[in-house]
Structure 1
Amino acid sequence: MNCWDSINVTKQLGFYRSLILSSLFGLLSFIFLYLPFTLIHKDIIVKDHGLIPVILGVAILPLLHKALRILPLKVTNKHLRIKWTLEKKFIPNFHVGNHSKTSKPTLFFALLTPTIVITIPCIVSSYFVPSYYPYFLLVGAINLSLSYIDFLYIRHLWKAPKKCLISNEEQGYDILIPR
């Protein structure tokens, strides 16, 4: 196998620039989602249960996002190594083992799964459960912010050849093509 391209969005953009762009994408998505729903739900009183449920929901969201991204890879690749760690002694986190190879459609689906499973139901729920619509939109916008880097990887993978394998490396992906 020959390496067709190496993709490392954090290295190309820089950590702080990718963090700023991701935050800006999340903020703009919240604004563009919140405005129409405010017009739809004009006379609705928003229920408030305090700040603690919101903080817990937002704290769990990155772990759920990462788990949903890994789930399709684990289903299709039985030999995928997942390493669990505790950061700061109480925050669970996990990483996919290096040098695991997957196909292009599987990686596309894995990168889009958090958006499909979290963001779209949040937007639909904000329409059908109007008393909690700002909270659903907030969770959806934060998930879109987390998905920003995934969208950049999808943009790079779109240009890759159809019959390629993608290898998970330390900070990015290597696109491998047969000789």
Structure 2
Amino acid sequence: MHCWKTINVQKQYGHDRIFLLSTIIVISVFSVFYIVLNIFKEDPLSDHLFPLFLLVFFMIYPAHKLLHFMPLFSYRKSLRFSIEKQYSFLPVLSMRIHEPILKSRYVFALLVPFILLNLVLIIGAIMFPPFRHYFSILLAYHCGLCLIDLLYVKHLIHSPKTALIEETDKGFEILVPSSNQ
């Protein structure tokens, strides 16, 4: 095996650019989704469940991380979890796998939270129109969280189909079989 490419989105784009792109995505998704919902639903809005909204808002991030873990459950012995502080106060859950895994499984693990949580939030907004503003905020927030995952998927899509992905201190390495084996 040799390294075909190393990907580190944090270094490639930088924290400031990722934060800016994420903010733009949050504002755009909220604006578009909320306007589309209001075109089709004219029910009055309700704020009766605001404490539940706050609870769900703070639980989106851990649920997102848990959904990353689910497709990698068979690798659980090779996974290491840690909590790091970003900006000296914001806890960030980190999950690292210490053995190479198939590219297809890794891409699937990156996409599962984006697909499942967003689908649940969209269905919730349609089924409970008085709370569509809450669901719009949650959907926008979650899409902003998914930006890094989608950037990694963008890079991984163009790698060889039989590649293995390995996490290192430098980032994600895309490993391919050596040609002389």
Query: Structure 1 length normalisation: TM-score?
Result: 0.88
1:128 corresponds to = 127
Partner Cα separation in structure 2 for residue 66 and residue 94 of structure 1 = 7
Q: Tell whether 2:74 aligns with 1:79.
A: no
1:2 corresponds to = 2
Further displaced range: 122-131 or 164-173: 164-173
Partner Cα separation in structure 2 for residue 93 and residue 158 of structure 1 = 26
Deviations 1:139-170 (A, max 9, x none): 11111111111111111000100111000223
Partner Cα separation in structure 1 for residue 92 and residue 9 of structure 2 = 21
The runs of 5 or more residues in structure 1 that have no matched partner are none
2:36 corresponds to = 36
Partner Cα separation in structure 2 for residue 22 and residue 159 of structure 1 = 23
Paired letter, 1:23: T
Q: CA offset at residue 105 of structure 1?
A: 0.9
Contact 1:82 1:94 (C-alpha < 8 Å) held by counterparts: no
Partner Cα separation in structure 1 for residue 29 and residue 53 of structure 2 = 18
Paired letter, 2:122: I
The runs of 5 or more residues in structure 2 that have no matched partner are none
Q: CA offset at residue 46 of structure 1?
A: 1.5
Deviations 1:56-98 (A, max 9, x none): 222221121111112211x23242223244869xx87542235
2:166 corresponds to = 167
Query: Structure 1 residues 78 and 70 mapped into 2: Cα distance closer, same or farther (>3 Å)?
Result: closer
1:15 corresponds to = 15
Contact 1:114 1:143 (C-alpha < 8 Å) held by counterparts: no
2:109 corresponds to = 110
Q: CA offset at residue 50 of structure 1?
A: 6.0
Find the residue that maps to 2:94 and give its secondary structure. strand
Partner Cα separation in structure 2 for residue 30 and residue 171 of structure 1 = 34
Aligned-residue sequence identity (percent) comes to: 29
Find the residue that maps to 1:79 and give its secondary structure. helix
Partner Cα separation in structure 2 for residue 151 and residue 85 of structure 1 = 22
Query: Structure 2 length normalisation: TM-score?
Result: 0.87
Q: Tell whether 2:27 aligns with 1:27.
A: yes
Partner Cα separation in structure 1 for residue 100 and residue 50 of structure 2 = 42
